[in-house]
Structure 1
Amino acid sequence: MNIVLEILLLLLTTIFSYLEALVNLFLPVKRKSVSGEIVLITGAGHGIGRATAAEFAKLQSVLVLWDINKNGVEETAAQCRKIGAKVYTYVVDCSKREDISKAADQTTRAFLPSMMKKNHGHIVTIASLAGSIGVPFLVDYCSTKFAAVGFHKALTAELAALKISGIKMTCLCPTFVDTGFVKNPSSSFSPVLVTEDVAKTLVDGILINKKMICIPSFASLSAVLEVLLPERAQRALNAFQGVKFDAKVRCLDKDKQT
């Protein structure tokens, strides 16, 4: 195709996309039903995983709960069964391929190849705002969350390239959540989030096929500002936000250096 025509088509598509998004703002949002759907939740023995399981239990989903902690995942299962959900639990170390394969053989095999074959499903990635901006003294954590966001974006693009429209993608990017992972977190503009509130927002987003969920919503501006602002202004903004938490920073005793 002629390059001029390709550019024209791109411009028309962009304009149409903006108009479509504007119209959708005024249309009622349709929520899908997950009643009877199999929902596999990793890390279900605590934190966001446990709270998310409870939310899907309320929606009458069939829960498959994975966690490395047997007591934790059984406690979650007991809570969900009280709500009325059908629950299956497995002790799985998701860092070990053999554990995942074994558990998958025992579950209805709702992984990507099967989903692609059926053109049906929903993949949710639990990331963090630390997956789009760097946080001092959380280098290892930020690295894993950047990878999680990258996985979400790359797989979303790949499914689109394969024209597989029935598999939806959602990525959760909250600020600090009260899970105990970081001690005494605080920020000048964002309160520490409650796990149950995060789970409710996540499930609401899943039901309307929302691709990216930032909590609080204004946190989505951080990635944009990082591109637009000069480096000095970025540092000033980071300092202005007043993000604090207890961290152990490795240091050397100068008197013992050789």
Structure 2
Amino acid sequence: MSTPNQAQQDIGTLLVQVTQTTADVIVLIIQILYAFILSIGRLAIRKQPRSVRGDIVLVTGAGHGIGKELALLYASEGATVVIWDINEKNGSQTVKEIAQLGYPKAHFFVCDVSSRDDVLRVAEEVRHKVGDVTILINNAGIMPTHPFLEHTTDEIQRIMNINVMAHFWTLEAFLPAMKRHNYGHIVSLSSTAGLFGIPNLVPYCCSKYAVRGLMEALYQECRTDKKNYIKFTSIYPYMVDTGLCKKPKIRFENLMPLVKPKEAALEIMNAQRTETNEVTIPRYLFGAHNLCRMLPLKAQLYIMDFIGVGLESDLI
């Protein structure tokens, strides 16, 4: 049995704990309200994009589509652009177009981002010939579209290697220098397919969910260092008219048309330059997704069936 003194000590300890927890909860509520006020303020007053002049921007898959548009946009803003693509003809063409427009010199390197050895080797070339990358944009990706059981083993492995593992290899190559300088920005392209599942895209959805998890966890890990100045941006585009969406299925085409590559690139660059953590393209999709997730599953399915957006099998 406890003595009266021990009982008094226990009650005193409990009161201290309750008081401390209550104070912590009050502080948390104030912090949440402050976050809401900041968020509302950002809607009213758009943050001015920071300059990228002098930055070294590396874009993977910059030989065509969104990647190419990003390379052109960053070059137009005075950044030194490093183009990675597995297709030498396409990559060289992007460099040629940048030169013809009179922008700062761009650099092209052939790189298979699915290969760790190739990524680390080419990254070393970039360091020697151009310098330390300060903005890394993981854009490269592939999107076979057919039922899960019709995917081959090699196809699934390739989707994961290009869409997911390539992010690990580029981070391994460029994040250490960013941490040394305490300066840099990581931009990774997930997809709206990384927010909700879509038929005929099971491995692709898996890969894009993985990118979302990678970026969220990496951001949280770096955030524990209060002096960290490395920024992170995750992008969730709706279907973009780059050729990857071979057989889109859209019920309301006027309301939800395919996004143009240049439009997507402008949104991505603006998100990076305003240091926005997460962005869907179009932007309203994030709010719509979050609201939808609050509903019962059956209601979510009714909404998805009503909207009628998806992809037909590319094997038919």
TM-score between both structures, scaled by the size of structure 1: 0.91
Percent identity, aligned pairs only, is 31
> Can you give the 5+ residue segments of structure 1 that lack an aligned partner in the other structure?
251-258
How far apart, in 2, do the equivalents of 1:26 and 1:224 lie? 21
Give a deviation string over 1:156-200, Cα, whole Å, max 9, x none.
111111224421111111111011112131422411111111111
Residues 1:223 and 1:25: Cα distance change in structure 2 (over 3 Å): closer
* Alignment partner of 2:37 out of 12, 19, 24: 19
* AA of the residue aligned to 1:19: I
Which structure has the bigger radius of gyration?
Answer: 2
Shift of 1:22: 2.7
Q: Which residue of 2 aligns with 1:68?
A: 86
User: Is structure 2 residue 76 aligned with structure 1 residue 52?
Assistant: no
How far apart, in 2, do the equivalents of 1:233 and 1:28 lie? 34
Count of residue pairs brought into register by the alignment: 250
The secondary structure found in structure 2 opposite 1:234 is helix
* Matched-pair contact (CA < 8 Å) for 1:137–1:249: no
Residues 1:222 and 1:120: Cα distance change in structure 2 (over 3 Å): same
User: Is structure 2 residue 169 aligned with structure 1 residue 103?
Assistant: no
Shift of 1:226: 4.1
How far apart, in 2, do the equivalents of 1:78 and 1:23 lie? 42
* Matched-pair contact (CA < 8 Å) for 1:41–1:65: yes
Q: Which residue of 1 aligns with 2:206?
A: 143
Q: Which residue of 2 aligns with 1:121?
A: 184
* Matched-pair contact (CA < 8 Å) for 1:124–1:169: yes
Q: Which residue of 2 aligns with 1:155?
A: 218
* Matched-pair contact (CA < 8 Å) for 2:280–2:286: yes
> Can you give the 5+ residue segments of structure 2 that lack an aligned partner in the other structure?
1-16, 134-173
Calculate the aligned-residue CA RMSD, in Å: 1.7
Q: Which residue of 1 aligns with 2:304?
A: 238
How far apart, in 2, do the equivalents of 1:136 and 1:101 lie? 35
TM-score between both structures, scaled by the size of structure 2: 0.75
Shift of 1:246: 2.7
Residues 1:245 and 1:20: Cα distance change in structure 2 (over 3 Å): closer
The secondary structure found in structure 2 opposite 1:29 is coil
* AA of the residue aligned to 1:214: T
User: Is structure 2 residue 270 aligned with structure 1 residue 204?
Assistant: yes
* Matched-pair contact (CA < 8 Å) for 2:246–2:314: no
User: Is structure 2 residue 158 aligned with structure 1 residue 92?
Assistant: no
